[in-house]
Structure 1
Amino acid sequence: MKSTRVVRSPGGLSVRLDVRAALVVVLLLLAALAASVVLIGTGDFPISAGDVLKTLAGNGNAGQEFIVNELRLPRVLVGLLVGASLGLGGALFQAVTRNPLSSPDVLGLGQGATAGALVMIVLFSGSATEVTVGALVGGLATGLAIYLLAWKQGVHGYRLVLVGIGVSAIVTAVNGYLLTVSDIVDATRAVVWMTGSLSGRDWEQVWPLLGLCAVLVPLVLVNARGLRMMEMGDDVSGALGVRVERVRALLMVAAVLLTATATAAAGPVSFVALTAPQLARRLTRSPGPNLLSSLCMGAALLVTADWASQRTFGADQLPVGVVTGVLGGVYLLWLLVTERRAGRI
């Protein structure tokens, strides 16, 4: 059975369809939605999956509607959107740099967003909204600095990674300094934010994330063909009509925006951007960036990790960033061992 088919419309337009990749996307979407329903029903006041669905359809009682629609649904939606943004952003970074170990965590975007948040917490005792804005500005400024420092008649993938590692080290040192000069209350608040958590998220975090994804996801998918061709090299893709630097700059901006906004909404949730594209590629067994499957994988990973955290340690006892950090670290070690045995590193 062929995994790739060509679908032709009556007008003569043909579309190449990877059946396995499409099936993986559908299954990941179903897994993310199922995990979301279970997560909404998890907490100090448990609700069955059937009652959750009834409440979402508008047929629940007053207590269930308040718990589901006002307390738990926004948190789950933020988890889905943050996971999707990190998964897609990680896939873009890995495709642009042509490095499977590249991610916003490695390049320092999470540290940059953390620096912006720490400035607002430590120096200005900012509100939650001001901390979110500071994290967004810090992530965008770090991404811009990395791109400009890596520019030399274009941006080479490995040069971008090396510059990102250097910037990450500098920003990490700045973050350590900010923590040492803060008082105990601000330091505690900063450490909690730096862990990465979905606790206390409400509709104020949902709408900016949803609006950004509604704009950036279609824009990225439209340029997926050019990104796939760029993996063959700049010279080959340029000869095939791809405006390499324009596409690369556009996709890098989109990746930075997705990562910075996700970090601003939930804190620096580690390793999702690294592992989601890798797991998606292994499931689809398809070459190329696997953008849509990485997006779905990131969403499924984050809500599942949040559910596991609540089921194991209770609601709000263990931030989801700790779970993703542990699982992502184990996966990274396994990936490094696998790459080394294959002679690729």
Structure 2
Amino acid sequence: MNDARSSNDTANGTASSVTARLRDLRRRQRMRSLLVTLTLGILAATLFVADLAFGHEIYPIGDILKVLGGEFVPGLSFTIGELRLPRVVVGLLAGFAFGVAGVSFQQMLRNTMASPDIIGITAGANLTAVFAIIVLGWSGPSLSAAAVVGGILTALLTVRLAWRGTFSTGRLILMGIGVAAALNAATSWILVRGDQWNIQQASRWLTGSLASSDWSDVPALAAVTVLAAVPLIALARQVDVMRFGDPMARGLGVRVESVQMTVIMLSVLLLSTATASSGPISFVSFLSGPLAMWLNGPHRPAIVQSGLVGSCIVLAADIVAQHIPPTQLPVGVVTSIIAGPILILLIIRLSRKQVLA
């Protein structure tokens, strides 16, 4: 009896110790996640103000804060409020949207390479935008609407081609790569047939730029960013459970197909709207997720953190694009230059993991 009681006490003590360790681990993970979020938020706010301050003239931070607070400052209210502020707000929102859309795809498909840039969504928005510019002569809201519709239709086509009675993430990625190749070829064909002025306009749009941003771009982008990001944040836990496999997720009460389709459509809507506002700023959706997950720690949803990383990348790239080179560059050129080496390092890292496995 005494031996049995001693064994029970030992087992209970071990269980209590494991529970305490798990509780302590979760607490430290939550603290790390909160610290990362606050740090990224402060960095995004700093880059936001810096992007407003730097230009042909560098304005004092105090005067900029007065303008942001609604106070009229002679000489600054127009320059900051009407010229620089719309550009920076669009950059902040578009970067957040790119980051959230990218990490949502990557976590749902359980593949770091499965960003919207890779699986064709951006290519669909690009094709319809180029068609609207060169063939239809559209600009402004009509052009933005065309890009959104193109991204959504491409997503529906890719999902339909990948569907074989069930949802396969590997098949979706492969189909997306094939669809992207076909759409990029069609985009090139339309560019070849356009006149010089339209080709220049389409090329600027395809590069990804904040130069033509104005206040008309902000309401739709802000509304879609909020309305799509909030459900994606709410679904992050269920998406995280799916990393154990679809059967396990179903056993834990996750409606796998419903969650997958919801994440896909919300992410596509986010990506298409951001692309319509700023053009396809390359690799932001691809880079934001891995960086955020590395900062946030393993097996932690990083939706908000990825959005903030996306905002920081776009704002930092905009500052560099405007002031470092001899002539101003589109933001997408800078993000592509940054992303190239990181992409190579990421592929090497993934290859080493596969070899070790």
What is the TM-score of this pair, normalised by structure 2?
Answer: 0.90
Is 1:192 aligned with 2:204?
A: yes
Cross-structure match for 2:272? 260
**Larger Rg belongs to:** 2
> What runs of 5+ residues in structure 2 fail to find an aligned partner?
1-20
Query: Do the aligned partners of 1:5 and 1:19 also contact (CA within 8 Å) in 2?
Result: yes
Give 1:127's match in structure 2, choosing from 118, 121, 139.
Answer: 139
Cross-structure match for 1:12? none
Matched letter for residue 350 of structure 2: E
Residues 221 and 70 (structure 1), Cα distance of their counterparts in 2 relative to 1, 3 Å cut:
same
**How far apart are the structure 2 equivalents of 1:83 and 1:317?**
20
Cross-structure match for 1:324? 335
Q: 2:166 aligns to what SS in structure 1?
A: coil
Cross-structure match for 1:100? 112
Cross-structure match for 1:5? 27
Cross-structure match for 2:214? 202
Q: Deviations over 1:233-268 (max 9, x none)?
A: 100000000111001100110111011111111111
In the TM superposition, residue 154 of structure 1 has moved relative to its aligned partner by 2.4
Matched letter for residue 326 of structure 1: I
In the TM superposition, residue 70 of structure 1 has moved relative to its aligned partner by 1.2
**How far apart are the structure 2 equivalents of 1:177 and 1:273?**
26
Matched letter for residue 340 of structure 1: S
**How far apart are the structure 1 equivalents of 2:72 and 2:292?**
36
Cross-structure match for 1:89? 101
In the TM superposition, residue 185 of structure 1 has moved relative to its aligned partner by 1.1
Query: Do the aligned partners of 1:270 and 1:324 also contact (CA within 8 Å) in 2?
Result: yes
In the TM superposition, residue 283 of structure 1 has moved relative to its aligned partner by 1.0
User: As a proportion of its length, which structure holds more helix?
Assistant: 2
**How far apart are the structure 2 equivalents of 1:197 and 1:181?**
23
**More deviation, 18-27/48-57:** 48-57
Cross-structure match for 1:180? 192
Residues 155 and 288 (structure 1), Cα distance of their counterparts in 2 relative to 1, 3 Å cut:
farther
Query: Do the aligned partners of 2:108 and 2:240 also contact (CA within 8 Å) in 1?
Result: no
In the TM superposition, residue 198 of structure 1 has moved relative to its aligned partner by 0.4
Query: Do the aligned partners of 1:196 and 1:320 also contact (CA within 8 Å) in 2?
Result: yes
Count of residues in correspondence between the two structures: 334
What is the TM-score of this pair, normalised by structure 1?
Answer: 0.93
Matched letter for residue 240 of structure 1: L
Give 1:51's match in structure 2, choosing from 48, 60, 63.
Answer: 63
The 5 A counterparts of 1:62-73 are 62-73=74-85
Q: Deviations over 1:215-247 (max 9, x none)?
A: 111111111111111111100000000111001
Cross-structure match for 2:283? 271
Cross-structure match for 1:144? 156
**How far apart are the structure 1 equivalents of 2:307 and 2:204?**
26
Cross-structure match for 1:333? 344
**How far apart are the structure 1 equivalents of 2:85 and 2:215?**
9
Q: 1:43 aligns to what SS in structure 2?
A: coil
Cross-structure match for 2:4? none
Q: 2:338 aligns to what SS in structure 1?
A: helix
**How far apart are the structure 1 equivalents of 2:226 and 2:288?**
20
In the TM superposition, residue 3 of structure 1 has moved relative to its aligned partner by 5.2
Cross-structure match for 1:110? 122
Is 1:234 aligned with 2:262?
A: no
CA RMSD of aligned residues (A): 1.7
**How far apart are the structure 1 equivalents of 2:316 and 2:187?**
30
**How far apart are the structure 2 equivalents of 1:19 and 1:154?**
38
Query: Do the aligned partners of 1:88 and 1:294 also contact (CA within 8 Å) in 2?
Result: yes
